[in-house]
Amino acid sequence: MSDLRDRVRGPLAPSTAAQRPLSIDDVEIHGGPFGRWQRINREASIPLGLQQMEKSGATPNLRLAAGEGEGTFQGYRFQDSDLYKQLEAVAWEHCRRPDGDDAAAYRAFVAESAALLARAQRPDGYLNSHYQVVKPDKIFAELEHSHEMYCAGHLFQAAVATARAGLGDGLLEVARRFADLLVRRFLTGGDDGIDGHAEVETALVELYRLTGERTYLELACKLIDNRGRGLIARTGLGPLYAQDHLPVREAPTAVGHAVRQLYLEAGVVDVAVETGDADLLASSVRRWEDLVATKTAITGGHGSRHDGEAFGERYELPPDRSYNESCAAIAAIHWNWRLLLATGSGRYADLIERTLHNAFAASTSADGVRFFYVNPLQRRADLFEDAYLGRRREWFACACCPPNIMRLVSSLGHYVATTDDEGVSVHQYAPGVIRAGGITLDVETEYPWDGSVRLTVRSAPGGAWTLRMRVPAWSGSARLTPGWGEPYPAVPGADGYAAIRREWRAGDTVTLDLDLTPRLVVPHRGIDALRGCAAVERGPIVYCFEQIDQDSPLEDLALLPGAGLRPVERDLPGIGRTVIVEADAVRLPPAPPQGLPYTTVSDAAPATGPATAVAVPYYQWDNRDGGVMRVWMPLAQPSRR
């Protein structure tokens, strides 16, 4: 074991970084949405996931591979990865509350799983129940769609998590045996294969960070450099689908299967950081800038197409058919977190916040036992082809998302704050406690419902240090009120943070007041699918309009360009605490139902009477009747029928 091992108890522990991550158990979250999600995750989601490990075939498949079970292989070739993500979720949950009621059960689940995996693993280190049971003659022979290294990556992440969480090294031993096999075959053995689904790259780097075994890093480097050489056989979905169309350093834009690209980017940043490869890092940053400017939904969601679960072209961002896979939101958070640590720039924390509170948060029902795989921004009336969309489900045949959601929620504390040689940076606002070295901060806030965040220094080392507080780009104005002086404008630096450097003493307080005035937001004119529409945001929350809250058919309502937006606190059945926004609107005139849906401009009728449209946070949708929903509302215009 290297000495890197114990630095951080959390998913990411880079050996060098502009901002250093904290351990999950160094951050307590006491309430707010994050606190609620963590409670529901522990009480409802994780127990459901643990049940599903047996029911969905994940553990039975591994018993087959171990020569123990009866029956046939169930599910997809990447079914093992569900178990790995579930193990990781349990590990971080244990790390967060090691003395919780479930500690013994978690320990047993990890130990039993590690033992099963060790029995299923071949003597050479290979481990994949699908290939061992169903296609032993095809091992490593169809990498373009086999997901063998993808599953290995999730195994490595689970192993890192259980080791860092103090749940024993059983899983780590299994992981290292498999990683060593991959090194023998794909690094020193000269095989140039790459997996059609990126994931193992980031996982190998973390396994290197944990163990100090440099060949894992070297293999990750090689796998990244091998992309774009046409090594993946042309599948029906083509080389773009798996980011094999161009070398990573040259690829100007995110393409193909969104989750593949985003996991790949996490690995790219990891490799760049560990090898000091500034060019490689710069290529990822270029794609980030392009992606955010042209292919990112307002919720932070990624992937505009059902077809290939793909990004689509620049500015192709349809609200109805957007895919926005829950796993893509998670993968994007992984990537942004790595960029934030590497650069210290708040724009990545801004996007993490947007993604967490919207694209990601929407993936789970308020009660934690139903999930979205696809997260559209619109649900129409009278659905036929899309009847299955827009309603969460308990589980999926392809269940990549639910355990992925669970592992992120249980590790949420990891993403709240960081430290560096100058002091502490707070990136995400939630009530609780932050411990960074000798510094302890209390955070009191009703965020995101209220914009006031009060930080109290509970303990501090001697000497001056800097407290950096992110001022989100959406906050039109912000104010800082120190306990020792007058309020003043919180003007962020180029990095997006307001900083106070002083010799802090225990008891010092500073309050950051962010501007939560609701905002009417319009899309870039390049986004054809959203032309003539506006959305409502308040703080980090993107809103949506559900039919259940309206007096008129939602499809007959339009907002006004200068619409008044009034936030109102509510406790809604099925949703709980929330802030709705009432928006000034108009009722559109009836649209003729017959004939071709195209008419000359002169036939268009103007809007009619005033109305009020009611918006709820997007992430809270589909917790009531599951009817019509829109994030993007038409803006009333003259000459529109």
> Parallel, antiparallel, or unpaired: how do β-strands 533-538 and 633-634 relate?
antiparallel
CB of 636 to its own copies, least distance (A): 10
Binding-site member from 28, 93, 316, 622 for its own copies (CB under 8 A): 316
Q: Is 218 a catalytic residue?
A: no
Stretch that binds its own copies, among 302-310, 332-340, 360-368, 453-461 (CB under 8 A): 302-310
Strands 576-587 and 610-617: antiparallel
Residue 134 interacts with its own copies (CB under 8 A)? Answer: no
* Catalytic residue (choose from 199, 213, 265, 309): 309
Q: Which tokens is 510 given?
A: 């500073």
> Least distance to its own copies from the beta carbon of 559, Å?
10
Region label for 44, one of left (φ > 0), alpha (ψ between -120 and 50) or beta (otherwise): alpha
Give the nearest distance from C-beta 594 to its own copies in angstroms. Answer: 6
User: Within 13 Å, how many C-alpha atoms sit on residue 203's CB side?
Assistant: 29
Selected binder of its own copies within 2, 235, 253, 481 (CB under 8 A): 253
SS3 (DSSP) at 509: strand
Q: What minimum distance in Å lies between the beta carbon of 391 and its own copies? A: 15
The binder of its own copies chosen from 18, 44, 521, 575 (CB under 8 A): 521
Contact status: 317 vs its own copies (CB under 8 A): yes
Site map 621..640 versus its own copies, x via CB under 8 A = -----------x-x--xxxx
Taking CB under 8 A as the binding criterion, the range among 86-94, 150-158, 218-226, 523-531 that sits at the site for its own copies is: 523-531
- Residue 422's CB is within 10 A of a number of other CB atoms, namely 15
Between 267 and 296, how does the x/- string for binding to its own copies read (CB under 8 A)? ----------------------x--xxx-x
To its own copies, the closest distance from the beta carbon of 63 in angstroms equals 28
Chain residues 77-116 in contact with its own copies, contact rule CB under 8 A: none
Provide the minimum distance between the beta carbon of 492 and its own copies in the complex, in angstroms, as a whole number. Answer: 15
Would you state the structure tokens that stand for residue 45, as one six-digit string?
Answer: 């989601």
How is residue 583 written in tokens? 């928006």
What mask of x and - would describe binding to its own copies in positions 464 to 493, judged by CB under 8 A?
---------x--------------------
CB of 291 to its own copies, least distance (A): 10
Q: Are 40 and 443 in contact (CB under 8 A)?
A: no
Does the active-site annotation cover 309? yes
Q: How far apart are CA 386 and CA 305, in angstroms?
A: 14
Q: How many residues at the interface with its own copies, by CB under 8 A?
A: 76
Indicate the pairing of strand 576-587 with strand 27-29.
unpaired
Strands 423-426 and 465-470: parallel
CA-CA distance, 99 to 188, in Å (whole number)?
43
Q: Which stretch binds its own copies (CB under 8 A): 111-119, 435-443, 482-490, 513-521?
A: 513-521
- Using the rule CB under 8 A, give the single segment among 34-42, 89-97, 224-232, 301-309 that binds its own copies: 301-309
Which parts of 232-251 interact with its own copies (CB under 8 A)?
A: 240, 245
Element of type H or E holding 572: strand 565-572
Instruction: Identify the residue among 555, 570, 576, 624 touching its own copies (CB under 8 A).
Output: 555
From 55-63, 200-208, 316-324, 412-420, span contacting its own copies (CB under 8 A): 316-324
> CB 233: neighbour CB atoms within 10 A?
12
Within 13 A of 396's CA, how many CA atoms are on the CB side?
22
Give the per-residue contact string, 562-601, with its own copies (x = CB under 8 A; - = no).
x-------------------------x--xxxxxxxxxxx
By the rule CB under 8 A, 532 interacts with its own copies:
yes
Nearer to its own copies, 57 or 518 (CB): 518
Among 5, 7, 36, 641, binds its own copies (CB under 8 A): 641
Alpha helices in 375-419 (DSSP H): 401-410
Annotate 573-598 with b (16+ C-beta within 10 A) or e (fewer): eebeebbbbbbbbbbbeeeeeeeeee
Location of structure tokens 């009817």: 627
Site for its own copies in 330-359 (CB under 8 A): 354
Q: Does 150 bind its own copies (CB under 8 A)?
A: no
Give every CB contact of residue 576 below 8 A, 6+ residues apart in sequence.
36, 366
Ramachandran sector of residue 212 (left: φ over 0; alpha: ψ -120 to 50; beta: rest): left
Backbone angles phi, psi at 199, to 5 degrees: 175, -35
Q: Give the nearest distance from C-beta 386 to its own copies in angstroms.
A: 6
What's the closest the beta carbon of residue 637 comes to its own copies, in angstroms?
A: 6
Q: Which tokens go with 34? A: 């994050």
Count of all residues that appear for the chain in the document: 641
Residues 6 or more apart from 263 whose CB is under 8 A from it? 153, 197, 198, 199, 201, 202, 331, 334
Shortest CB 296 distance to its own copies, Å: 6
Q: According to CB under 8 A, which one of 526, 553, 606, 610 is a site residue for its own copies?
A: 526
CB neighbours of residue 524 within 10 Å:
11
C-alpha to C-alpha distance for 53 and 108, rounded to whole angstroms: 14
* Given 151, 400, 533, 544, the catalytic residue: 400
Applying the rule CB under 8 A, the residues between 369 and 388 that interact with its own copies are: 378, 380-386
Q: What are the residue ranges of helices labelled H in 56-199?
A: 58-65, 80-96, 103-120, 129-133, 143-146, 148-164, 170-182
Sole binder of its own copies in the list 126, 156, 311, 335 (CB under 8 A): 311
Catalytic residues: 309, 400
